[in-house]
Amino acid sequence: MAVFRWGHSWGHSIGDLEREVDRLLRGVTASFQGLRFGRQYPAINLYELDDEYLLTAELPGMSPEDLEVKIAGGVLTVSGSRQDDDHGSEHNFRRQERAHGSWQRSLSLPDRVRDDNLSAELTDGILRIRLPKAVEEKPRQIPVTSG
């Protein structure tokens, strides 16, 4: 519908330029993007520190009550659900890009992690799980298995 496109006076040329700038600035969407590509959710990063490993994940909208972190048999399982059900009918949406629902992810921990002393913390939608290294050996790398 380009009837009024030519010669209109609403200053859209400025808007077009700004849109272009926005496009240039656009990056990768975070969050549930992995779901669309069949990847595991949530995406995790793993860091090594002197005496522990640090596992981080982006979990916006999750509160500690929505989240479960378990460890059994050397397997760390993180699960939770995000429910956004206060928007009324689906017809009310003008735009819907954020996903919601239940998810679960399991990771095998190597023997070199002391699994009796993990701690997890959720701040501003970022989950941090600390995995202390076993005292006797200082491993260089944890193999991460997606299961």
Site residues for other proteins per CB under 8 A? 15, 18-19, 22-34, 36, 39-40, 43-50, 53-54, 56, 58-63, 84, 87-88, 92-99, 122, 124-126, 128, 141-142, 144
Report the C-alpha gap between 120 and 56 in whole angstroms. 10
C-alpha torsion sign, points 50, 109, 39, 66: negative
Residue 123, SS3?
strand
Report the C-alpha gap between 133 and 49 in whole angstroms. 9
Looking at beta carbons only, is 114 or 128 nearer to other proteins?
128
CB of 108 to other proteins, least distance (A): 13
Looking at beta carbons only, is 124 or 137 nearer to other proteins?
124
CB of 129 to other proteins, least distance (A): 11
Residue type (1 letter), 56: T
Report the C-alpha gap between 103 and 67 in whole angstroms. 10
CB of 13 to other proteins, least distance (A): 15
Looking at beta carbons only, is 72 or 140 nearer to other proteins?
140
CB of 47 to other proteins, least distance (A): 4
- DSSP class of residue 47 equals E
